[in-house]
Amino acid sequence: MLPATERILLGPGPSPVSPRIMRAMAAPVLSHLDPDLVVMLDDVRARLGRVFRLGDGGLCLAISGTGTSGMEAAVANIAHEGTRALVVVTGYFGDRLAQMLGRYGAQVTRVEVEWGRACDPEAVRKALASGRVNLVAVVQAETSTGVLNPVEAIARIAREHDALTLVDAVTSLAAHPLDVAAWDVDVCYSCSQKGLGAPSGMAPIAFGPRALARRVPSRSFSFDLSLLEDYWVRRKYHHTLSSTLLYALREALIAVEEEGLEARWARHRRHHRVLAAGLGAMGLELLPPEPERLWSLNAVCVPEGVDEAAVRRTLLQQFNIEIGAGLGPLAGRIWRVGLMGSGSSSQLVLLFLSALEQALREQGYRMDPGAGTAAAADALASFR
Amino acid sequence: MLPATERILLGPGPSPVSPRIMRAMAAPVLSHLDPDLVVMLDDVRARLGRVFRLGDGGLCLAISGTGTSGMEAAVANIAHEGTRALVVVTGYFGDRLAQMLGRYGAQVTRVEVEWGRACDPEAVRKALASGRVNLVAVVQAETSTGVLNPVEAIARIAREHDALTLVDAVTSLAAHPLDVAAWDVDVCYSCSQKGLGAPSGMAPIAFGPRALARRVPSRSFSFDLSLLEDYWVRRKYHHTLSSTLLYALREALIAVEEEGLEARWARHRRHHRVLAAGLGAMGLELLPPEPERLWSLNAVCVPEGVDEAAVRRTLLQQFNIEIGAGLGPLAGRIWRVGLMGSGSSSQLVLLFLSALEQALREQGYRMDPGAGTAAAADALASFR
């Protein structure tokens, strides 16, 4: 019943886990208070600080849980009754962030943006002008629509209004430029299984100095930053952190630093562009306009007359390739193709385009044979 | 920096992870919505139902997180403002449970019991007589004191008063008798890394039919049972469950069923008794009186004049053996020796007693050479 072959993970996450990370994960289990493990906590905190570009005076750690836990941990320690939050909603995860803030008692105002488009920072400015707000929350990489939101500009406007900025970097960390300190982001969380390329189960989170100063008492025990800080920094028991997942996260962070963060961003951009060139030659369109597209997650419009579920089924059953379906109002209208972590590679782009061509042919979709891979190969050559 | 050798995990958890579970964990990663993975969710739910002995009409699943997350998930879905909870506090984890209930708005009455002793069910009966209570919460295996609480009797009394019973089985599941349905337990949670012997990172949880009927809206999003049920039962996305941890948990559950639940309980009892015989011959005492002792976690009193931290250091550095220190008021007064999952073995008991003898000798503690292992071997023979 365990999978016998490697699934090629080109969905919205998890991304493919490279062999070095699987090997690290197989190292002997240590307890959460083992002297050899607590040293590793410091190492992981330092590496996380560098991948978030947190700067001085902040605090990084990893929540034992998934990106959703990261979101809840961010919200639980920064919002409560009386918090006035402005949430940029450009898709499913922006909506979830608004719900989460509501659950923790915040008074939420939503800046609604059409699904498939990025938020115009001026909409945030306008919304901030009409009332006092403590917190601006935004998803950098909206996984449901393939859209990149302009976090730097939004955080600047929030700072002008003395509001904190909370950023969901679940699908952007280690794939897209993100500079927590330089951009004046105050709280930022992510996951382990996308840009970083580890298995899911840990959620990196960063609190800048302003967020630490303005934190609120957490209603949640599991996500209580003071208790988590007691554990990660002062080695006081809080929960039984999984050494297995920590080894994997640490190895992933080492791989990121070996590659170089900026080189990694450039790799994600390159393979996104190569994919986009291939899809374009096959007559397929991406949902967001060009400047608003994610590199890590490509929202591909399903052509008329094509059964989107059948295409995914063919990819899975004949080619062992997973891609994602659309969520909410985009269900049936898009495919979500992730190129993240080690999944952002020229080989996988070419393989995917070939397999997609076959799957579309089965649906009677007409295109020049090999047009997609040829255009992708040309695009790839242009980067050399 | 990764551990090169296998640490012998005889602390309060994690317990040793057997090779078959490490191998299962190394299987190719699948996404949380992969058709091959969602089938496994059903399999794990069914196996969890059998290990909890949940019976019909309830719901089992595993929280993505640790035992602490399991506790929070249990509380978040069953307690809120207006809940009157009676919490049995026999140690650190009973206290944590009371705190957790308080965080979720419950009005908490504590039945305080001296650390090192089990709760007398009559104390619960008396407390219930003095006012209406909706919920009785108790830790079955109090990991901080090595005490087993009489859950069956307490749950019976709670039922007589029409209160729900919430049980922490973090250090008892698959090590001590537990029969959720037959005992009228309503909510029960555990962890993956103790009696089950998988790495930490998943928290099995069981809700009986009465608990499902009386559940409350969860303030937490991550731990919201309706959303978790949507995912585990109806395959609707909620969070990115780690296939890696699910493989490990499933393999651990298969191993439990191969051994047989009752045979596994008997094994834990046997090796606890063998250890106790050995410790007794070395002049060492266990903290709880004999009928109140856990099989999975042995609270060993530190003899006068012995530096408890030095003993733990010797065990760790010279023998690669981890045991736990005391928590709270028991810090410095006890060692916590876990024999859980695959760690409950005659070989490890003999090894531990030998190593402990050496460590105690270094401290000038006087005892007959080899008395501990000889008594343990005799006790072991008496079980054959």
The pLDDT, as a whole number, for residue B130 is 84
Looking up tokens 């050798």, which residue turns up?
B5
Q: What is the pLDDT of residues A298-336, one digit of tens each?
A: 999 999 999 999 999 999 999 999 999 999 999 999 999
Residues A3, B27: C-beta atoms closer than 8 Å: yes
Give the confidence band of B131 by pLDDT, cuts at 50, 70, 90.
confident
Q: What is the pLDDT of residues A342-371, one digit of tens each?
A: 999 999 999 999 999 999 999 999 999 999
Residues 152-211 of B with CB under 8 A from A: 191, 193, 199-201
Name the average pLDDT for chain B.
97
**Res A1 pLDDT > 90:** no
Decide if B30 touches A, using CB distance below 8 A: yes
**Res B83 pLDDT > 90:** yes
* Pick from A2, A7, A13: CB nearest B247: A2
Give the confidence band of B294 by pLDDT, cuts at 50, 70, 90.
very high
Among candidate residues B266, B289, B284, the one with its CA nearest the CA of residue B375 = B284
Residues B67, A220: C-beta atoms closer than 8 Å: no
Residues 267-296 of A with CB under 8 A from B: none
Level-2 CATH architecture, domain A19-259: 3-Layer(aba) Sandwich (3.40)
Q: What is the pLDDT of residues B204-250, one digit of tens each?
A: 999 999 999 999 999 999 999 999 999 999 999 999 999 999 999 99
The pLDDT, as a whole number, for residue A128 is 97
CA distance B194 to A29: 13
A308 burial via Cβ count (<10 Å: 0-12, 13-18, 19+): buried
Q: What is the pLDDT of residues B11-63, one digit of tens each?
A: 999 999 999 999 999 999 999 999 999 999 999 999 999 999 999 999 999 99
Residues A220, B220: C-beta atoms closer than 8 Å: yes
**Res B89 pLDDT > 90:** yes
A327 vs A67, B32, B235, CA distance in Å? 17, 15, 13
Give the confidence band of A108 by pLDDT, cuts at 50, 70, 90.
very high
Here the tokens at position B126 are 């008396």
List every span in chain A annotated with CATH 3.40.640.10: 19-259
Tell me the average pLDDT across B356-372: 96
Decide if B316 touches A, using CB distance below 8 A: yes
Q: What is the pLDDT of residues A241-264, one digit of tens each?
A: 999 999 999 999 999 999 999 999
The predicted complex's ipTM stands at 0.97
Give the confidence band of A130 by pLDDT, cuts at 50, 70, 90.
confident
Decide if A331 touches B, using CB distance below 8 A: no
Contacts of A189 in chain B (CB under 8 A): none
Tell me the average pLDDT across A112-136: 96
- CB-based contact B275:B103 (threshold 8 Å): no
The pLDDT, as a whole number, for residue A71 is 98
Contacts of B239 in chain A (CB under 8 A): 65-69
Level-2 CATH architecture, domain B8-12+261-382: Alpha-Beta Complex (3.90)
Would you call B168 helix, strand, or coil by DSSP?
A: strand
Name the average pLDDT for chain A.
97
Q: What is the pLDDT of residues A37-57, one digit of tens each?
A: 999 999 999 999 999 999 999
**Res A240 pLDDT > 90:** yes
Residues 63-82 of A with CB under 8 A from B: 64-69, 71-72
**Res A384 pLDDT > 90:** no
User: pTM of the prediction?
Assistant: 0.97
Q: What is the pLDDT of residues A176-226, one digit of tens each?
A: 999 999 999 999 999 999 999 999 999 999 999 999 999 999 999 999 999
Instruction: Report the first-to-last Cα separation within chain B, whole angstroms.
Output: 43
CA distance A83 to B184: 42
Interface size A-B, in CB pairs within 8 Å, comes to 186
B295 vs B104, B160, B167, B275, B336, CA distance in Å? 32, 29, 18, 10, 12
Tell me the average pLDDT across B246-258: 98
**Res A153 pLDDT > 90:** yes
Percent of chain B topping pLDDT 90: 99
Residues A31, B43: C-beta atoms closer than 8 Å: no
Contacts of A35 in chain B (CB under 8 A): 316
Level-2 CATH architecture, domain A8-12+260-382: Alpha-Beta Complex (3.90)
List every span in chain A annotated with CATH 3.90.1150.10: 8-12+260-382
Decide if A242 touches B, using CB distance below 8 A: yes
Decide if B29 touches A, using CB distance below 8 A: yes
The pLDDT, as a whole number, for residue A131 is 81
Q: Is the peptide bond before A291 cis (omega within 30 degrees of 0)?
A: no
Q: CB pairs under 8 A, 24+ apart, for A92-97?
A: A92/A142, A92/A143, A92/A144, A92/A145, A92/A327, A92/A328, A93/A139, A93/A142, A93/A143, A93/A144, A93/A168, A93/A170, A94/A138, A94/A139, A94/A142, A96/A68, A96/A71, A96/B221, A97/A71, A97/A137, A97/A138, A97/A139, A97/A166, A97/A168
Widest Cα–Cα separation across chain A: 63
CA distance B370 to B282: 9
The pLDDT, as a whole number, for residue B384 is 81
Give the confidence band of B323 by pLDDT, cuts at 50, 70, 90.
very high
Rg (chain A; Cα; Å): 21
* Pick from B28, B96, B200: CB nearest A6: B28
Decide if A263 touches B, using CB distance below 8 A: no
